Amino acid sequence: MSAGVETATTPAGAATPAHQFDSLDQQREAAALGMWVFLVTEVLFFGGLFTAYVVYRWSWAADFARASRRLDVTLGTVNTAVLIASSLTMALAVRAAQLGRRRGVVGFLLGTMGLGSVFLGIKLLEYSHKAHEHLFPGPGFRFEGAADLRPAELFFSLYFAMTGLHALHMIVGIGVLGALLWPAARGRFTAASHNWVEGAGLYWHFVDLVWIFLFPLLYLVGRHGS
Amino acid sequence: MAAPIVPVRTCVQVFLALVVLTGITTAVSFVDLGLWSNVVALGIAGLKGALVMLFFMNLRRGPRLLPVAVAAGLLWFLILVGQTLSDYFTRGWLGVPGK
| pLDDT tens sequence across A167-215 | 999 999 999 999 999 999 999 998 888 999 999 999 999 999 999 999 9
Measure the CA angle with vertex B52, ends B76 and A211; round to 5°: 70
pTM for this model (two decimals): 0.91
Q: Give yes or no for a contact between A116 and A86, defined as CB atoms under 8 angstroms apart.
A: yes
C-alpha–C-alpha distance, residues A193 and A51, integer Å? 39
Q: How far apart are CA A4 and CA B7, in angstroms?
A: 31
Q: Do A43 and B69 touch (CB under 8 A)?
A: no
CB A107 within 8 A of CB A197: no
Structure confidence by residue, pLDDT tens digits, B59-72: 998 889 999 999 99
Distance CA A118, CA A115 (A): 5
- Yes or no, beta carbons of B3 and A191 under 8 Å apart: yes
Where do the domains of chain A lie, and which CATH numbers do they carry?
22-220 (1.20.120.80)
Contact B31 A208 (CB under 8 A): no
> Which spans in B1-99 are helix H?
8-28, 36-51, 65-88
Contacts with A, B 52-91, CB within 8 Å: 52-53, 55-57, 62-63, 65-66, 69-70, 72-74, 76-77, 80-81, 84-85, 88-89
Q: What percent of chain A has pLDDT over 70?
A: 93
- Nearest CA of chain A to the CA of B96: how many Å? 20
> Dihedral of the CA atoms A56, A57, A61, A65 (nearest 10)?
120
Closest CA to A193 of A14, A72, A20: A14
